[in-house]
Amino acid sequence: MVKITGKYQLEKNENLDGYFKAIGVPYVARKMMAASTPVVEISCKDEIWTVKTSTLIRTTVLNFKVGEEYDEVMPSGEVLKNTTTLEDDELRTISKIPDGSQTSRSYSFSDTGMLLTLTHEKSGQTAKRHFKRLAD
């Protein structure tokens, strides 16, 4: 099994604007997120996983136990009900959106980086964010 914990720097995006548009992110916010180059730091202590995403604009921190539902508050104030699972070299988060639809985030890891795949179930829109692993 490849190492999951560590820091990752965004290298490139694929269809990020299309995905954000499908989930209802306003135009200006979409452009700002697409232009950002986040650093994602993933850690685990005592079965509590932490995914910290930092940009120049803001930092978000998610803390969760694998298999247990938890809340994620979006910048709009909307609350997502998330459940994250771990299988082999992948963390997968299913988010239930208040409108009844759902999205998924799949974090796949390799020795050199991480691929974050974002999928909106209702529209079928998918985006990919490619990250390189940073030295510890």
pTM: 0.92
Domain assignment present for residue 1? The answer is: no
Sign of the CA dihedral with 30 first, then 34, 39, and 42 last? positive
The confidence band for 131, taking pLDDT boundaries of 50, 70 and 90, is very high
Domain count, the chain: 1
Q: Which amino acid is at 95?
A: S
Would 53 be classed as within a structural domain? Answer: yes
Per-residue pLDDT of 12-22, as tens digits, reads 999 999 998 98
pLDDT tens for each residue of 55-91? 988 899 999 999 999 999 887 778 899 999 999 889 9
Residues in the chain: 136
* Positive/negative CA dihedral, 129, 133, 134, 136: positive
Mean pLDDT of 108-125: 95
Would residue 39 count as lying in a domain?
yes
Q: Please write down the HEC assignment for all residues of 15-78.
A: CHHHHHHHCCCCHHHHHHHHHCCCEEEEEEECCEEEEEEECCCCEEEEEECCCCEEEEECCCCC
Instruction: Tell me which residue range forms the domain holding 85.
Output: 6-133
